[in-house]
Amino acid sequence: MCGIVGLVNGHAVAGDLVTALGRLEYRGYDSAGLAVAGPGFAVRKVVGRPAALGAEFDASFTGRAGIAHTRWATHGRPDARNAHPHLCDGVAVVHNGIIENHAALRASLVAEGHAFASDTDSEVIPHLIAAARARGAAPVAAVQEACAALHGAYAIAVLFEDAPDRVVVARQGSPVTVARGAGASAVASDPAALAGFCAEYAALEDGDIAELRGAEVRIADRNGRVASRDWQSMEAAEVAAEMGAFGSNTRAEIAATPAALRRTNAALAGRTLPAQVAAAERLVMVACGSSLYAASTARAWIEQLSGVPCDLEVASEYRTRAAPIVRGTVAVLVSQSGETADTLAVQAHLRARGVPVVAVVNVPHSQMARTADLVWPTSAGRELGVAATKSFSCQLLALVRFGLALAQARGSATPAALAAVEAELTALPGVCAAAERLEPQLAAIARRVASANEAIFIGRGPAASIAAEGALKLKELSYIRADAYAAGELKHGPIALIHDRSPVIVCGGVNDDKTLSNAEEVRARGAQVIALVEQAAAARFAPVAHDVVALPGSGLGLVFAQAVALQLLAVHAAEALHCDVDRPRNLAKSVTVE
Ligand code: F6R
């Protein structure tokens, strides 16, 4: 959440800062700002997206070092006053994270005579740095001193009016990478923002402070010792799928699902597990949001194939209770970004207790990937749409492949059963491509759903989890209130919600007869049933349903086809309501605050 950028270049940086910041828009987009140094600061702040900063800069913006920020508001309204950079006495700061002790720090700074201009937690940072500088500290030392007073999470980039040739960076708890080469040095929340500006990048560790000058990056660890970090070629920072004629990144990314699944298959087919993981007596899968639904959808296959019981935990909830850890537990953390604060906190908690951690993660340079015992990559490629789409499908595939590898290592499934699953997994790209061809029918249904102000999703077994993911997609993209229930739970209360013409999206799956009965029950109460079922079940659902979407695939394939169909349904409902599909209100792609 929030994206920061800093650049030190051989020429004026303002335009490049806007370009780089635009690539971080997925992290937040309620306001943006930049500052360039020397002589004095030139500052521009806007409400809205980075592009609103504009491309034209007058002579005051000729500085060769600068910082920029795109905001996802935590403290203070999304207005220009609260937009970063925040300034104090020749110090400008952009910040991603949350300063937990900001109120106490602000009170003591105010008592010392400091005046604040915003409602943000971040503004204490330039004040602390300026105070240290006033006491005679050099730029890096002043940042070090200020950081010692901060509690919470931060990645900051700092610009100095009286040292206009550099940017100083510090990290604690929030992701940030530095980059160098090609005559420039830089910093960004995500290295992909810096493609074309530098030759190589490295992720900073907690406690690191880096000084960027010219093409040089000097990194010191929390003890002030020179630190060597893992430098990688900028070519490794993946670029996004082309939006092309699709009109939105999200739609383009759904279309990229078959290719992404092929990559996941290629990366994981035949891959074996280390003995420590294969010996698991119990799995605990931990994740948030769509990643959690991917885990809960895959759970049945993992358990059936491997025979290993598998618990499922919401990361933010798992943190709040001291759950006993059963001996022989292996943790499987699922995250697209590998940056989600709650999931990372669970990772640290479990590793400190000796639990091996498998990270099913999409971003290879993320903190989760760097600190896991085993990385099980989802290989979806870069995803810019805020809502998870192709990454969800790739997580699901990677997790089923994890179950397959576990079964292979433990001998818990017959070779014939393993071969059958392998064949299903290989066929998935084709199944998803076929599901996408149903878009015209789904778009027509979506237009009707868009005219309702609520929707209910039901399913059984894995289809219940897919239903939950479908409801999440609809609410986050179209803002239509959507609830999901295990179909068997309807009669225990939620059926009271059904009234004349309520859209009920029925995800057919295992045990179709029971789901069919549930569809009949809601239909009898006036619901408008939309059935997403396999082709073989279409005729049986036809008398009950207002719409039957006959999907390709069965078993595993059906679940993947349902995921694509539900994503398309949500995109088209959102477009019908003129919502910004790529930038849903109040959301950001990486949830780096707790
Ligand atoms: C929904 C969505 C979110 C994420 C969740 C976890 O479309 O994308 O619910 O799944 O914020 O994020 P990651 O997977 O990055 O840990």
- What confidence tens digit (pLDDT) does each residue in 467-515 have? 999 999 999 999 999 999 999 999 899 989 998 888 999 999 766 889 9
CATH code of the region 439-576: 3.40.50.10490
Beta bridge partners of 178: 187, 202
What does the alpha-carbon distance between residue 380 and residue 261 come to, in Å, rounded to a whole number? 7
Q: What helix, strand, coil percent values describe the chain, rounded to 5?
A: 40, 25, 35
Q: Give the amino acid at 274.
A: P
| Secondary structure class of 74 (helix, strand, coil) | coil
What does the alpha-carbon distance between residue 21 and residue 48 come to, in Å, rounded to a whole number? 12
| Secondary structure class of 185 (helix, strand, coil) | strand
Task: Give yes or no for residue 290 CB within 6 A of ligand 1.
Answer: yes
**pLDDT band at residue 408 using 50, 70 and 90 as cut-offs:** very high
The answer to whether 577 and 375 are in contact (CB under 8 A) is no
Q: Reply yes or no on whether the pLDDT at 238 is more than 80.
A: no
Q: Among 1, 72, 249, 291, which is best to mutate for testing ligand 1, by the most ligand atoms less than 8 A from CB? A: 291
Segment 446-468 mean pLDDT: 95
User: Residues 70-111: pLDDT tens digits?
Assistant: 998 877 888 889 999 999 999 999 999 999 999 999 999 999
What does the alpha-carbon distance between residue 477 and residue 471 come to, in Å, rounded to a whole number? 10
- pLDDT score for 290: 98
Q: Reply yes or no on whether the pLDDT at 240 is more than 70.
A: no
Q: In what order do the strands lie in the sheet with 547-551?
A: 481-486, 454-459, 503-507, 528-534, 547-551
Which percentage of the chain shows pLDDT scores above 90? 82
What is each CA distance from 453 to 66, 87, 326, 583, in whole angstroms?
A: 46, 44, 44, 20
Cβ neighbours of residue 434 under 8 Å, at least 6 residues apart? 552, 553, 561
- The CATH classification of domain 249-428, taken from the options 3.40.50.10490, 3.40.50.720, 3.90.550.10, 3.40.250.10: 3.40.50.10490
Q: Reply yes or no on whether the pLDDT at 424 is more than 80.
A: yes
Segment 538-558 mean pLDDT: 95
What does the alpha-carbon distance between residue 402 and residue 140 come to, in Å, rounded to a whole number? 45
Q: Reply yes or no on whether the pLDDT at 241 is more than 60.
A: no
Given the DSSP bridges, would you call strands 547-551 and 528-534 parallel, antiparallel or unpaired? Answer: parallel
Segment 337-347 mean pLDDT: 94
Segment 583-589 mean pLDDT: 83
Task: Give yes or no for residue 335 CB within 6 A of ligand 1.
Answer: yes
The answer to whether 514 and 487 are in contact (CB under 8 A) is yes
Domain regions of the chain by residue span:
3-236, 249-428, 439-576
Q: Where would I find the H helices in 452-534?
A: 462-478, 512-524
- pLDDT score for 122: 95
What does the alpha-carbon distance between residue 507 and residue 324 come to, in Å, rounded to a whole number? 35
Task: Tell me which residue has its CA closest to atom 16 in ligand 1.
Answer: 335
The answer to whether 95 and 105 are in contact (CB under 8 A) is no
Q: Reply yes or no on whether the pLDDT at 218 is more than 90.
A: yes
Is 2 one of the annotated active-site residues of the chain?
Answer: yes
Task: Give yes or no for residue 340 CB within 6 A of ligand 1.
Answer: yes
Q: Among 189, 340, 382, 396, which is best to mutate for testing ligand 1, by the most ligand atoms less than 8 A from CB? A: 340
What does the alpha-carbon distance between residue 42 and residue 23 come to, in Å, rounded to a whole number? 22
User: Residues 30-51: pLDDT tens digits?
Assistant: 899 999 997 899 999 999 889 9
Using CB atoms within 10 A of its CB, is residue 433 exposed (0-12), middle (13-18) or buried (19+)? middle
Q: Where would I find the H helices in 307-456?
A: 315-318, 341-352, 367-370, 390-410, 415-436, 439-451
Question: Same topology for domains 249-428 and 439-576, yes or no?
Answer: yes
Measured in Å, residue 578 CA sits from the centre of ligand 1 at 23
Measured in Å, residue 365 CA sits from the centre of ligand 1 at 17
Task: Tell me which residue has its CA closest to atom 3 in ligand 1.
Answer: 289
Q: Is the dihedral of CA 96, 100, 104, 108 positive or negative?
A: negative
Is 475 one of the annotated active-site residues of the chain?
Answer: no
User: Residues 113-161: pLDDT tens digits?
Assistant: 999 999 999 999 999 999 999 999 999 999 999 999 999 999 999 999 9
- pLDDT score for 77: 84
Given the DSSP bridges, would you call strands 200-203 and 232-233 parallel, antiparallel or unpaired? Answer: antiparallel
The answer to whether 434 and 552 are in contact (CB under 8 A) is yes
Segment 298-303 mean pLDDT: 97
Question: If residue 66 lies in a helix (H) or strand (E), which one and from where to where?
Answer: strand 65-71
- pLDDT score for 485: 97
What does the alpha-carbon distance between residue 112 and residue 431 come to, in Å, rounded to a whole number? 66
Q: Where would I find the H helices in 281-381?
A: 289-306, 315-318, 341-352, 367-370
What does the alpha-carbon distance between residue 548 and residue 563 come to, in Å, rounded to a whole number? 16
Question: If residue 212 lies in a helix (H) or strand (E), which one and from where to where?
Answer: strand 209-213
CA dihedral 294, 298, 303, 304 (to 10 degrees): 170
CATH code of the region 3-236: 3.60.20.10
Task: Give yes or no for residue 337 CB within 6 A of ligand 1.
Answer: yes
What does the alpha-carbon distance between residue 447 and residue 66 come to, in Å, rounded to a whole number? 46
Task: Tell me which residue has its CA closest to atom 11 in ligand 1.
Answer: 289
Q: Reply yes or no on whether the pLDDT at 236 is more than 70.
A: no
The number of the ligand 1 atom at minimal distance from the alpha carbon of 395 is 14
Q: Reply yes or no on whether the pLDDT at 67 is more than 70.
A: yes
| Secondary structure class of 412 (helix, strand, coil) | coil
Segment 321-336 mean pLDDT: 93
Measured in Å, residue 385 CA sits from the centre of ligand 1 at 11
What is each CA distance from 505 to 342, 405, 449, in whole angstroms?
A: 31, 34, 10
User: Residues 360-394: pLDDT tens digits?
Assistant: 999 988 999 999 999 999 999 989 899 999 999 99
Segment 296-305 mean pLDDT: 97
Segment 548-565 mean pLDDT: 96
Q: Reply yes or no on whether the pLDDT at 412 is more than 70.
A: yes
Q: Which token pair is 573?
A: 């409902």
Q: Where would I find the H helices in 136-255?
A: 139-149, 249-255
DSSP 8-class letter at 64: S
The answer to whether 61 and 13 are in contact (CB under 8 A) is no
